[in-house]
A and B are shown apart, each in its own frame.
Chain A
Amino acid sequence: MENNLKKVDIIFEVDENNTPYDVLLKTLKRPADEIILDLIDSGLKGRGGAGFPTGLKWKFARNEDGDTKYVICNADEGEPGTFKDREIIDRVPEKIFTGMTICGYVVGAKEGYIYLRGEYNFLLKPLSKKLDEFNEFLKKNKIDYKIYLKSGSGAYVCGEESALFESMEGKRGEPRNKPPYPTVAGYNSKPTVINNVETLVYTTMICRIGPKKFKDLGTSDSRGSKVFSVSGDTPIPGIYELELGMPLHNFVDEFGDGDVKAVQVGGASGHCVPRKKFNDTIIGFEGIPTGGSMMIFNSSRSMYNVLHDYLEFFAEESCGQCTPCRVGCQQLLKGIEAVKRGERPPAYLDDLKKLTGTMKIAAKCGLGQSVGNPFNSIIDNFREEIIY
């Protein structure tokens, strides 16, 4: 079969004649509105998973009144199966700093923060060294902007933007009610742009290569490329930048071990796609979107164990502030255990599916709302493995 998988080299590409520093100086000479138009034109959507159009986010923050605004880089990469941000931070941090500085210029912020998850503390030293150099460069060029580094302390939910603000403000990482959205009231209740690591790098690169080259990649709903974290039953696990909008079967042909039973797209909170649906599943915003996590399972794996692992994860990482998520995650976990032990009839799984529906409506943040994604997709496609 013809393989249409297109590998791309934008994120990690290094051009000595056009460094992030060069891009920064050139871009800061352009009118802010023009930069926003370029970003909107490029079709770039947030690469953390939620997929909000980046240009619009910057525009909203720019339109807010106020002297104090913030730019935050969300480096709290905690979704199981995702490890691409770590690699980006490690290899091309200047591209992140540049994206944050351009954003600061566009929206009118003087401070940027990188919130790095505690599990990546080993990156703190090298990252702060490079950051010091960058801040020094800003100072030397009389650019009124400074980036600071903050670290997390091992809480998955802090990847949720409003929980991240709470954590930076020295509080429990409990998500806030929305609205107001961050562009109106984020960190310290000031207008804030919060972007994923990868998104910020793409903004830098769109400023360098122009929106057209980016837009030419992908599909009308999913412009550009994306960094994928490939793990599980694959002979070639790792990080790959691929064009968006690919059919899943092409992905499996490239990365599978020849015996792929299912792919979990989008991490623990994403969707499980069984083999029979590989042909008509598109990886992108028109199909199944992903923050980059692609976990491959071959036929030797028990999908009960997979689901059990995910539910245990959510039960532990739920912040506990809202009842649907706190109790829901526990009951889903206990529920599949009870069905497995024969203490509950198989039909109980349908009651649990209804519970995920309640969680979707009633949970306060994305964590509780999305537990139904893995739950329902695994129950619907591998029901017999859960029961027997």
Chain B
Amino acid sequence: MLTTEALVKELVEKNGRSRNSLMPILQGIVQKEHYLSEEALLSVAKELDLSAADVYGTASFYTFLDTVPRGKNIIRVCKTITCHMKGKDEVINALSNALKIKVGETTHDKKFTLLTANCLGWCHKGPVMLVNDEVYPDLTPQKALEIIEEYGKEAK
């Protein structure tokens, strides 16, 4: 695996050094490392000749640009009204019990982080969750557990 510094350099090469490239660069780091470490933010600031505070300020604005360590697989269960009506609480409870973590926490083995999200745009097929970039609509607690089990196997 690339070091953070090398990854940043690679992303800067690919996207360019202008301010407009900041989002794709930060997104690229999250894609690989699941969050933005202090090292990553400092390195981006240096490469783009921006202040570290400016880079952190931008990153911290966006829900998907995490600045705290996250697990290999990030689960985001939609909590907005229709998913609420269709039983997102049961799905979250099932996941929380199975993974033995609360919403916002990461498992000890760093395989999973459980989060909630605002409307994911699947209101007609709720409850729904994202695992990383993949979407899983029409959930039941049972289905959600089966999906997570598969990810658990892959993440060994």
A→B interface (CB under 8 Å): 77-83, 85-86, 117-122, 124, 150-156, 167-174, 188, 229-233, 237-239, 268, 293, 295, 301, 305-306, 309-310, 313, 316-317, 319
Contacts and interface: CB of A to CB of B under 8 A. Distances in A.
Contacts of B133: 121-122, 124
Given A78-B118, A81-B119, A169-B19, A319 B61 contact: yes
4 residue pairs, one from A and one from B, having the closest CB atoms:
A170-B22, A154-B63, A237-B124, A231-B123
Given A118-B64, A153-B64, A313 B80 contact: yes
Contacts of A121: 133
B82 A231 contact: yes
B58 A172 contact: yes
Interface string B92-119: 0000000000000000000000000111
A371 B118 CA distance: 16
Given A233-B85, A306-B81, A310-B81, A171 B19 contact: yes
Contacts of A156: 118-119
B27 interface: yes
**Majority secondary structure, A binding face:** mixed
Contacts of B122: 83
Given A83-B122, A231-B123, A268 B61 contact: no
Contacts of B118: 78, 80, 156, 313, 316-317
Given A77-B121, A79-B119, A230-B124, A155 B20 contact: no
B51 interface: no
Contacts of B45: none
6 contacts: A119-B121, A150-B23, A152-B62, A154-B65, A173-B62, A231-B124
B69 interface: no
Contacts of A239: 124
Given A150-B23, A154-B117, 14 more contacts: A79-B119, A80-B80, A80-B119, A122-B133, A124-B133, A152-B64, A153-B64, A168-B20, A169-B20, A170-B19, A172-B57, A174-B61, A231-B123, A306-B81
A153 B65 contact: yes
A172 to B, nearest CB: 4
B23 A170 contact: yes
A50 to B, nearest CB: 19
A238 B24 CA distance: 32
B123 A153 contact: no
Contacts of B154: none
Contacts of A152: 62, 64
Nearest to B119: A80
Given A154-B62, A154-B64, A155-B62, A170 B121 contact: no
A313 B23 CA distance: 24
Contact of A167 (B23, B84, B85): B23
Given A81-B119, A153-B64, A154-B63, A170 B81 contact: no
Contacts of B64: 118, 152-154
A118 B134 CA distance: 11
A272 B64 CA distance: 30
Contacts of A306: 81
Nearest to A84: B121
